[in-house]
Amino acid sequence: MNEKRKIKKILIPNRGEIAIRIQRTCRELGIPTVAVFSEPDRYALHVRYADEAYPLPGSTPGETYLNQELIFDIAKKCNADAIHPGYGFLSENARFARACREHNITFIGPPPEAIDLMGLKTEARRLMTEAGVPVVPGTEPLETAELAAESANKIGYPVLIKATAGGGGKGMRKVEKPADLKSAFDACQREAQSAFGDPRVYIEKYATKPRHVEFQVLADLHGNTIHLYERECSIQRRHQKIIEETPSPVLDDDLRRRMGDVAVEAARACGYANAGTVEFLVDADRNFYFLEMNTRLQVEHPITEMITGVDLVERQIRIAEGETLTTEPIPRRGAAMECRIYAEDPNQNFLPSPGHIKALTDPGGPGIRNDSGVYSGFTIPMEYDPMISKLVVHGENREQVLTRMLRALEEYHLLGIRTNIAYLRKILMHPEFISGDYDTHFIPKHQDSLLETEGDNHDEEAIALVTAGILSFMNNKKQSAQSPANERRSTSRWKLAGRVRAVGNTGV
């Protein structure tokens, strides 16, 4: 039996919106927070919001947010008795989780043993197979391209070559025919070595019309495990999720129940505790297969919070303190969607667009949540991931969520940098997305039409005028006149809302 241990101060070795997200829950719980920051992040919002903040000399991740020795020195200096790693950086690092134990610091995350088991994809596949969890047909780690070719012939093309220690779409290649296998195999090995320090790769069968559906799980230190429903994550660019929604349009109640039960069994099989995500592939025939388990809080966790009313960060902290998790079913309310807002230029091959934010207008109104790490006057650094924020909406059903997200994206303006906001709008307006009948091939299939120039993301004067109009509207000021451009935008918005309603509430 694990003893209860009240956490008194939490150090967050992370940055941006996830650091602020954790800080907010800690503030509600009355737990002081400690921020750390690299030189490029000296004026970042997470530094301003924290109760204490300490510099990490340097600018690269290795010098700063991944510097374990320096992190523990700061924890000792400020008397932090717990660490919440967020996602990325040290969040799925078993060595770091073990080091927290050695320093008598509570690691707000899973046991290092579970991180080890799930961190190697082939080991996770073996464990899930032993537990009776369905997995995508695949192989153990393969040392040579010749062995890979033999396995691919047995499995049948197309196949995916994947890094054993991979994640985030790195070290992954689709191979359509035998002639392309060796070059893809060699490229995956090089990328896996560079990204993860481990060149091992393996092969999985590539499914037709695959959908990426994941289940949020929570497990306490006393053996209790539950799930908090699913998230549909099939809108991906280069294997990176950019839009997520819940409920999934493809799941009915029976499939949801069966996948949820399997997700819970998968977590139990590896001795899991705290928050985690079990990821599945759902094929065209609605068969589902285990893909992997992410042993951390996911980027897209807010949509689960919106439909359940559960603060997942609070539950993480309570579990780490030794509290018992309620096993009563948690009701699901409505639907939710998240769009990841990036400082990047889709029309320049998604080139990152760091720079100074001259003006910022946040969306608002019913059901709107914007988890952001920036502010007007902040300079987005070039050293890190270009994600600006996560725009999240909640509504009674998918129809309302779609129209609400489109309205929120129209209200969201950042002057001085390029963003993917117009690109996201086009995805949401596409008939396939509106119908809910899409899969992980959606973006490659429609990329040309999605990249057609819209213009409102490149004209700073127009953005400034629209921003001023929105601010005036939000302050309930009567506008004496509208420009033709604003009239066209307003008309198109209501026509679009009607178009979404006409499609109906597919799958929800």
Q: Which fold has domain 10-108?
A: Rossmann fold (3.40.50)
Q: Return the amino acid letter for 39.
A: E
Task: Read off φ and ψ for residue 387, nearest 5 degrees.
Answer: -70, 130
Catalytic residues: 296
pLDDT, position 338: 98
- Residue count (the chain): 508
pLDDT, position 170: 78
Cα gap 223→374, rounded to integer Å: 39
pLDDT, position 401: 98
Specify the DSSP class assigned to residue 40: G
pLDDT, position 504: 37
Instruction: Please report, for the chain, the start and end positions of each structural domain, with discontinuous segments joined by +.
Output: 10-108, 137-205, 207-333, 340-508
Residue 277 near residue 216, CB atoms below 8 Å: yes
CATH number of 207-333: 3.30.470.20
Cα gap 217→411, rounded to integer Å: 34
pLDDT, position 168: 65
pTM of the model: 0.84
Cα gap 220→495, rounded to integer Å: 48
- pLDDT tens for the chain, 508 residues: list them: 467 889 999 999 999 999 999 999 999 999 999 999 999 999 999 999 999 999 999 999 999 999 999 999 999 999 999 999 999 999 999 999 999 999 999 999 999 999 999 988 788 888 999 988 899 889 989 999 999 999 999 999 999 999 988 766 778 999 999 999 999 999 999 999 888 888 999 999 888 889 999 999 999 999 999 999 999 999 999 889 999 999 999 999 999 999 999 999 999 999 999 999 999 999 998 999 999 999 999 999 999 999 999 999 999 999 999 999 988 889 999 999 999 999 999 999 999 999 999 999 999 999 999 999 999 999 999 999 999 999 999 999 999 999 999 999 999 999 999 999 999 999 999 999 999 999 999 999 999 999 986 544 444 444 444 444 444 444 443 343 343 333 333 334 444 444 444 443 333 3
- Assess if CATH 3.30.1490.20 describes domain 137-205: yes
Residue 393 near residue 368, CB atoms below 8 Å: yes
Residues with Cβ within 8 Å of 426's Cβ and at least 6 positions away in sequence, in order, are 449, 450, 452, 454
Residues with Cβ within 8 Å of 317's Cβ and at least 6 positions away in sequence, in order, are 7, 10, 25, 26, 29, 31, 82, 84, 108
Q: Return the amino acid letter for 204.
A: E
Structural tokens at position 17: 């919106």
Peptide bond into 158 cis (omega under 30): yes
CA distances from 214 to 124, 260, 479 (A): 16, 9, 46
What is the CATH architecture of 340-508? 2-Layer Sandwich (3.30)
Residues with Cβ within 8 Å of 13's Cβ and at least 6 positions away in sequence, in order, are 36, 65, 71, 83, 85, 86, 89, 90
Q: Is the dihedral of CA 142, 146, 147, 152 positive or negative?
A: positive
Q: Is 106 in a helix, a strand, or coil? A: strand
Residue 290 near residue 265, CB atoms below 8 Å: no
**Are 137-205 and 340-508 equal in CATH topology?**
no
